[in-house]
Amino acid sequence: MHGVLAMQTVRIVVSVLLGVSVAACDPGFCENEVIEDIYSKDLSHVVTVFDRSCAGPSPIVHVVAIRKAGDQFDPENHGDWLFTIHGQSEVHTEWIGQSRIHISFRDNGDQPTMRTEWNGIQVFYN
């Protein structure tokens, strides 16, 4: 009897641990805090600067994403991400023309992801 009860307890604990580990990998367990939206001069596009924090020991990720104005912000659409950097860093973004964006950031030792173009819009750094 004690062996059966102990085995059931082990199964429950393993199930809970597996559920937590799978949930930690699920993008649904990421929190996204929008810092600011910056519209292009002609209001056709918007750049969203946001911080992303996911379950587990991962550091905060600073993200700059772009989309057409009128489209809903979707933090899971990585194809719209222009820039990412992990950990503490200051990120500043501005439009410098109809189809040019300037992103500056404080280097924190992390290797950032930096795209230089998105659908004809050029991206420049520091």
**Residue 43 included in any domain:** yes
**Residue 101 included in any domain:** yes
Strands annotated E in the chain: 30-39, 45-54, 61-68, 81-86, 91-95, 100-105, 113-114, 117-118, 121-125
What is the pTM assigned to this prediction? 0.76
Per residue in 10-46, pLDDT (tens digit) is 455 434 333 333 333 454 589 999 999 999 999 999 9
* HSE (side-chain half, CA atoms, 13 Å) at 76: 6
pLDDT of residue 3: 58
**Residue 89 included in any domain:** yes
Structural domain count of the chain: 1
**Residue 15 included in any domain:** no
Per residue in 41-82, pLDDT (tens digit) is 999 999 999 999 998 777 899 999 999 999 999 999 999 999
- Structural domain boundaries enclosing 116: 28-125
**Residue 20 included in any domain:** no
Radius of gyration of the chain (CA): 20
**Residue 71 included in any domain:** yes
**Residue 113 included in any domain:** yes
**Residue 36 included in any domain:** yes
